[in-house]
Structure 1
Amino acid sequence: MQLLATSSILLAFAHLCKAHGNHHSDESSFNPVDFADEEASLEDIWGGFWPYQGVETFAHLPHTECLIDDQETFDIGIIGVPFDTATSYRPGARFGPSGIRKASQRQDMWRGFNFRAGLNPFDDWAKIIDCGDIPVTPMDNALALKQMSAAYDELVLKRNSTFDYSQSGSQKTSPTRVPPRFVSLGGDHSILLPILRTLKKAYGEVYVVHFDSHLDTWAPDKYPSYWKSEASDFTHGSMLWLAQQEGLIAKNGNLHVGLRTRISGDSWDDFDEDDEVGFKRIFADEIIDLQATGMARKILDYLPHDKPIYVSVDIDVIDPSAAPGTGTMEVGGFMTRELIYMLRQMETLNIVGADIVEVAPAYDPLDITQLAGSQVAYELITSMVKKGPLDTSLLADPATVATDEVDIIDKLINDESRIANMRMPFL
């Protein structure tokens, strides 16, 4: 019986093979080579992809190591800053850039039209690329700050936009070098200090709008400890205080949005100090009465429309129910939809740079936080593109910008001992 059953199976299989062969002998049937067009290029045939395929650059954008390729020109760059050793609570934001890039894979120029803005930021006037990451040491915060400061000087002050400003009648000046703009993927929030150091050189006075549940204008002594060093002053809660001490931001006119953190001591001393740093506060609770439209109006009524604006978004401005993957969660925050609406309304401002920070993927295995971070980056890029090419009248007069006597990058390159170890893997 077993032999008979086996024979029956083999016979049936032979009939199937014959039928399959007869099917392909029909001239009208599918031929696996018929799809190839002799005039099609390899790009035509193999250039397409599904969102889950390919190397994970942000939104499948072209990738260049912009710190190494000094000939690359672009208008907006995505730059990762995988640094998180200035955190005061939970670390993990060093994996933020890779997490945000992974979450951005459903974005691309073929399905990139932003219906809120009425344009596709990836397929408009601006050349947008993924510049990779700044290689920041996790071992020494003082050295890390120097690395990040030097990297942003290299990326902003020594690179040029693609757009031909000499042909733009709306530009008041036509400088030989116009810096590209950036959306930085953090990293903890301390990365804002080196960014502002460079923007001061490029634009002079910069106004900061700071979406966060925390003030981040705390003086270093608000982190009390017997042990102290110069590096210990540099934290993700003191960088705006340090920025004001260094004269990097406007003395007044900066703005917090989304505050709800507890503050120090037994009174409002932290708010008094925040006033001295030059910030106005919009609290998260205000959205209950104002709603997102009123919040956006309040932001736009306060910020100058003829000055360079920097937008810094800490993902913890979103409620932890919608963004749990962050280091210092505070309940009672915005919903993602509300934050996106407010960011979209800021498209009329002169945004010269932006960041999305404090995304820590290890605390959110479902990628909800990372997805929110990638959407925030997309909206910030959209606003830059919709505003149009940079108004060059915003640029600082190069004659008034102080430069270091010794260029940090040149010093590093000329140090042979560092060159020998520059490309060694971190252990």
Structure 2
Amino acid sequence: MPGWKGALLGLLALAGPALSHSHHHAEIMPEDRRAELLMKWEQEWPFSGVASFAHLQPVKCLIEPDARYDIAIIGAPFDTAVSYRPGARFGPRAIRAASARQIAGTSYNVRAGINPYKSWATMLDCGDIPITPFDNGLAERQMYEAFLELLSRPAVTPADSKYGTKGISAGKPKLVTLGGDHSIALPALRALYQIYKKPITVLHFDAHLDTWNPVRYASYWLSEQSHFNHGSFFHIASTEGLISNTTSAHGGIRTRLTGVDDGDYTNPGPEQGFLRIHADDIDELGGPVGVVNRIIDRVGLDPEQPVYLSVDIDVLDPGTAPGTGTPEPGGWTTREFIRILRGIEKLNIVGADIVEVSPSYDNAGETTALAAAQVAFEIITSLVKAGVPEDLGGWYGRKADSKAESSKEEEKKKDEL
């Protein structure tokens, strides 16, 4: 033992001067030298660097209590609540890889008139929640506590700043979660309910309802843990009072129902709290703009009503997004869906998820992961744009048109008065 202690002390003595010298050298580095290094080496190529989302600074926020952000990317690599094909635990990794071309210096979003990565919002990639694959009940608890921890911290941008969203979410951070299967939305909603102290409006894009009663999957072999699955989480959330029954909506629905009739649509239950927009409705409504109008009419633009945006990648047709666990033919195209997302930028979104990306079923071009990364980019853009104090204009940077329309609306209101 004395020999071991002596060796340890010797190592520490050797390491001490080196560490001290390194620290001292960093402290006295001239500013012009640092500026030179940044000019030479700060640039990053899409194919280089650590695989964080959009090359954002990676921080393990859950073990860094002082980490602060306005918007955080968090991975939820969990897929043991699926009913068909597993593999979405690898979704966060695939989406991050697919986001590689989203570099801050080249990410100006023309339709929104803003570069979300070079605006007011502090953004971090907070890594992944370490979720157990062995116990779904414990996994749900881990996700809930992680979401609550990350949402409870004050945002970098305070409520009294001219930047940042106003209303109920002022001064609060927002999470964009990369799934994982869709059951991760339940702990997210439980955490958001604790933060906002009121039922959350859910805007849900999916091929499936996800409001199934848990007995749909097994009427005899049931347990409390079996209730937590990727098809029943909105049923549970509704019965717990987490979801607003007057403002929530499904979009892109095209699922088969149980039994021999449409009882899943008509029986009294949590599913009746959602407006349903079927995938086929896009034709009758006149395209994506018609879908947008239906959503806004239902959800509303109330700054005091929090909206959670939940995107199952199977809302897209498997012809363009095959890498998912429960594919359903007849979905929206990537272009149609992105257009819809761009049309709902004024909703009061306080959190979002992109789920059910299962890369083992994706194609060689990784089109599912690419679509998911673009969905995340559009959502992040809208979150950042909502916190800009001036009017940045509308579609594809047509600021003049947008401002002209605003002026007409103001004149119309004055005439009515």
Aligned to 2:74: 79
| Partner residue in 2 for 1:399 | none
Preserved contact between residue 164 and residue 171 of structure 2 (Cα < 8 Å): no
CA drift of 1:64 comes to 0.8
Q: Deviations over 1:96-137 (max 9, x none)?
A: 000000000000111110111110011111111101000000
TM-score, normalised relative to structure 1: 0.79
Q: Which stretch of structure 1 is more off in the superposition, 222-231 or 42-51?
A: 222-231
Cα pair 1:161 1:178 within 8 Å, conserved: yes
Q: C-alpha root-mean-square deviation of aligned residues, in Å?
A: 2.1
2:53 to 48, 53, 58: 58
Q: Secondary structure at the match of 2:178?
A: strand
Distance 1:80 1:112 in 2: 22
Alignment correspondent of 2:84: 89
In structure 2, the CA distance between the partners of 1:300 and 1:44, relative to structure 1 (3 Å rule), is same
Q: Which residue of 2 aligns with 1:373?
A: 372
CA separation of 1:40 and 1:181: change in aligned 2, threshold 3 A: closer
How far off is 1:40 after superposition? 5.1
Does residue 107 of structure 1 match 2:102? yes
Native 8 Å contact 1:217 1:274 kept in 2? no
C-alpha offsets along residues 161-209 of structure 1, whole Å, 9 cap, x if unaligned? 011323449987899x933101100000000000000111111221000
Equivalent of 1:324 in 322, 340, 343: 322
AA aligned to 2:148 is D
Work out the CA distance in 2 between the residues paired with 1:352 and 1:283.
25
Q: CA deviation at 1:38?
A: 7.5
**Superposed displacement of residue 272, structure 1:** 2.3
Matched with 2:42 is 47
Partner Cα distance (2:207, 2:317) in 1: 9
The 4+ residue runs of structure 1 with deviation greater than 3 A are 37-40, 167-175, 273-277
- 2:225 corresponds in structure 1 to 231
Which residue number corresponds to residue 289 of structure 2? 293
Cα distance change of structure 1 residues 124 and 40 upon mapping to structure 2, 3 Å threshold: closer
- Long gaps (5+) in structure 2: 1-31, 390-417
Unaligned runs of 5+ in 1: 1-36, 391-427
Residues 164, 388 of structure 2: 8 Å contact kept: no
Q: Deviations over 1:45-83 (max 9, x none)?
A: 111121001110000001111111111111000000000
Letter in 2 for 1:84: D
The match for 2:202 among 204, 208, 223 is: 208
**SS of residue matched to 1:90:** coil
Cα separation, partners in 2 of 1:273 and 1:153, compared to 1, 3 Å = farther
Counterpart position of 2:112: 117
Equivalent of 1:309 in 298, 307, 310: 307
Q: How does 1:15-414 map to 2 (within 5 A)?
A: 41-157=36-152, 159-168=153-162, 178-203=171-196, 204-273=198-267, 276-277=270-271, 278-290=273-285, 291-306=287-302, 307-366=305-364, 367-388=366-387
> What is the distance in 2 between the residues matched to 1:60 and 1:273?
47
Q: Judging changes above 3 Å, is the alpha-carbon distance between structure 1 residues 172 and 96 closer, same or farther for their aligned structure 2 residues?
A: closer
For 2:109 and 2:161, how far apart are their aligned partners in 1?
Answer: 27
TM-score computed with the length of structure 2 as normaliser: 0.81
Deviation of 1:235 after TM superposition, in Å, equals: 0.5
Q: 1:82 to 1:94 in 2, by over 3 A?
A: same
Structure 2: distance between partners of 1:284 and 1:263: 15
Identity over aligned pairs, percent: 51
| In structure 2, C-alpha distance between the alignment counterparts of 1:312 and 1:352, rounded to whole Å | 11
Partner of 1:24: none
Q: After the TM superposition, which of the residue ranges 303-312 and 381-390 deviates more from structure 2? A: 381-390
State the AA in 2 paired with 1:292: P
Structure with greater Cα Rg: 1
What amino acid does structure 2 have at the position aligned with 1:100?
I
Does the 8 Å contact 1:163/1:389 carry over to 2?
no
The answer as to whether partners of 2:164 and 2:387 remain within 8 angstroms in 1 is no
3-state SS in 2 of match to 1:71: coil
Greater Cα shift, 319-328 or 163-172: 163-172
Distance in 2 between residues matched to 1:381 and 1:183, nearest whole Å:
8
Specify whether residues 273 and 99 from structure 1 end up closer, same or farther in structure 2 by C-alpha distance, changes over 3 A only: farther
Deviation for aligned residue 1:276 = 3.7
TM-aligned CA distance change 1:274 to 1:137, over 3 Å: farther
Per-residue deviation, 1:368:
0.6
Q: Is the 8 A contact 2:163 2:387 kept in 1?
A: no
